[in-house]
Amino acid sequence: MEKKTYTPIVPELTKNAITVLERRYLKRDKEGKVLETPVQMFRRVADTIAAADQKFNEKADTAPVAEEFYHMMTQLEFLPNSPTLMNAGRELGQLSACFVLPVGDSMEEIFDAVKFTALIHKSGGGTGFSFSRLRPANDVVLTTTGISSGPISFMRVFDVATETIKQGGTRRGANMGILRVDHPDIMDFIMCKADKKQLNNFNISVGLTEAFMKAVEKDENYDLINPRDGQVSGALNARKVFNRIITQAWENGEPGIVFLDRLNRDNPTPHVGMIESTNPCGEQPLLPYESCNLGSINLSKMVQDDKINWKRLSDVVHLAVHFLDNVVEVNNYPLPQIAEMTLGNRKIGLGVMGWADMLIRLHIPYNTEEAIELAHKVMGFINEQGHAASQALAKSRGAFPNFKGSVYDKKGEALMRNATVTTIAPTGTISIMANSSSGVEPLFAVSYVRQVMDNDILVEIHPYFEAIAKEKGFYSKELMQRIAEHGTLHNIDEIPEDIRSLFVTAHDISPEVHIRMQAAFQKHTDNAVSKTVNFTNGATIADVARVYELAYQLDCKGVTIYRDGSRDQQVLSVGKKQEAAQPAGLDKDQSTTKRERPKILKGWTYQMQTGCGPLYVTVNEDATGLFELFTTMGKAGGCAASQSEAIGRMVSLAWRSGLQARQVVKQLQGISCHSPSGFGENKILSCADAVAKAIQAHVEANGGKVQHEKRVFRKGACPDCGGIVEHEGGCAVCRLCGYSECA
């Protein structure tokens, strides 16, 4: 019998996509050398996932299925979540991105959850928790006759554990922390990330109930319930609590909100358990110990001759459901409890990316009624076809084991292979691979400015816009540079108005349109929709309140907002360049003449423990004040020592030229490297960070004060490459190197 071979399809990957694949996805040896090509990666994944067919038919020829999976991925029509691309066909074999773990109200249960979290993060997954079962702070602990620490205290334990785990060197740990709005510690929870210096490995959301929202509408009090005994332990005014959530979200984007009763209204297996949390980005509600496998269809590839190719979209939906069900089968689960729960419900989450690109190809502006109507049509079609595909699989493979007692069983509907089928996830790095817009988000920018290693400045332009600009005759390098500086096409008169309205960006779109688009996709999605509602920096608290209320009215399952600049320590995204100005820290009449060095200076030396060893920082002063800074590494020579010396020289030059300590601290503090040291307030992220902390300690020891900024993670810039960061689905993603805050 003639052996079937693969069609020689080579994916059309951009240079940026190849960079991301090489940095984060492709096999490497112990020395870090890349061992496979992108084509080999896709074949590895296709063969591994297709092989699951033999579990249901030992004689099945899986080559044709593998060919279809390979074609679908290499044509960038569909991509699974990152762990599947990274780990399918490899020793680790853990293919899920989303997990939820229970946190019980005992020391044993809490630290079991910490241990399980470490194992999941090590395998490449993200975790969600509800801390609502934990008794409040200062409550009685009968076994020790002491008082409890409360949920927030234990969240810090999870946070430190996550910080310690580096997910195989390819993915960061990420967590979702949820607390019910009727928990006695709710006000402390709302404020727990206000100072930006703790719980930086958590997204947090308040779990709202229908009873609470009705109390908000009526401006009434609602009861707080102690989870230890289920008794009422107090009351709060619902409107005041709601306003505090909104105000804090306006301040720095957190907490988000999750409508818990809606999650459980659509829980397909209530007889198995109640949903109390979601994955880190909020789109995947899960039962305790449950995981889910996600994948996204690239809608930009579903347009042909300015029309949606419904036939190909249907084919890809059916193939993708088959693919994701096979992932459930071949997955190597990190815990037996997770394997049991996941195989019992077989949840999958098929979503989309490239929605903004599809609209552009169809000549439909994102912020129009036509776009919202099309969202209903497209996602309704995907959900319908996805359920049909799951039903077809159930006929040959059987329904998910917990089908009896599920909502499908109670309604007398056809057997389903999967308890859920659709989810709209943030697509992060896989959308970079596909060279498409992220999830259901609008474009973040039409053009980026990118600085490469030889200090050349490259302007990266949206491919559809570049093609139209050349076709319409208004393309020029100078114009593209201007667009990159503005970050938007508004007020650029050389561009026709119809093109400007077609290429709208996240900040060109009103928050109301953002939430209406989210609601349109939510109506046809089994699980939830991950989307960020973007606000300009000048948005008011009342603007945020209107969006939260609209999300409730439109039956969304949660909301994440981001007000531009509310977390950023510097604006490095896109936008008009600042005009040349007086150097920071100098008044107009202040001289920039460099002070001459006296022969004798007094100084102080500070020992700072860095990841490269002890760093000794010497600060010298003259009669005017701070004058110069020297650094000495505990180990002489090497890159760290030379860079620390360079920092010392530049700091000295800055001080002798009139700059103040706070300007230097502001620039150096928060810079991170691959080898941090310490924890909490004593954590030193790099040698530069150590110098900043030494200067701060010196000034404060001598009676001064440095008003500094905490920059554990600079939301304005990627900590890996310094590139542009987009906010999507409650996460921050770099479009240049593929870094994702939320794994």
- Could you give the CA distance from residue 355 to residue 5 in angstroms, rounded to a whole number? 34
- Could you give the CA distance from residue 151 to residue 463 in angstroms, rounded to a whole number? 48
Contact 241, 220 (CB under 8 A): no
- Could you give the CA distance from residue 233 to residue 242 in angstroms, rounded to a whole number? 19
- Could you give the CA distance from residue 269 to residue 407 in angstroms, rounded to a whole number? 7
- Could you give the CA distance from residue 100 to residue 120 in angstroms, rounded to a whole number? 10
Q: Which residue has the tokens 């194992």?
A: 119
SS3 call for 615: strand
- Could you give the CA distance from residue 701 to residue 697 in angstroms, rounded to a whole number? 6
User: Buried (b) or exposed (e) across 718-742, using 16+ Cβ within 10 A?
Assistant: bbebbbbbbbbbbbbbbbbbbbbbb
DSSP 244-292: HHHHHHHHHS--EEEEHHHHHHT-S-TTT----EE-TTSS-EE-TT-EE
SS3 call for 629: strand
The one catalytic residue in 267, 279, 383, 534 is: 279
The one catalytic residue in 67, 77, 276, 283 is: 283
Q: Any residues with CB less than 8 A from the CB of 446 and at least 6 apart, and which?
A: 461, 462, 465, 483, 487, 488, 489, 503, 505
- Could you give the CA distance from residue 597 to residue 600 in angstroms, rounded to a whole number? 8
**Whole-number CA gyration radius for the chain:** 27
Known catalytic residue: 67?
A: no
Known catalytic residue: 309?
A: no
Contact 341, 289 (CB under 8 A): yes
Residue (of 572, 436, 576, 562) closest to 506 by Cα position: 562
Q: Any residues with CB less than 8 A from the CB of 338 and at least 6 apart, and which?
A: 99, 289, 290, 291
The one catalytic residue in 98, 192, 281, 292 is: 281
Residue type, 5: T
Residue (of 609, 39, 625, 292) closest to 617 by Cα position: 609
**Is residue 200 exposed (0-12), middle (13-18) or buried (19+ Cβ within 10 Å)?**
middle
SS3 call for 237: strand
- Dihedral-angle region of residue 674 (phi above 0 means left; psi in -120 to 50 means alpha; beta otherwise): alpha
Known catalytic residue: 279?
A: yes
Q: Any residues with CB less than 8 A from the CB of 596 and at least 6 apart, and which?
A: none
Q: How many CB atoms lie within 10 A of CB 639?
A: 9
Residue type, 690: A
Contact 489, 483 (CB under 8 A): yes
What are the residue numbers of the active site? 279, 281, 283
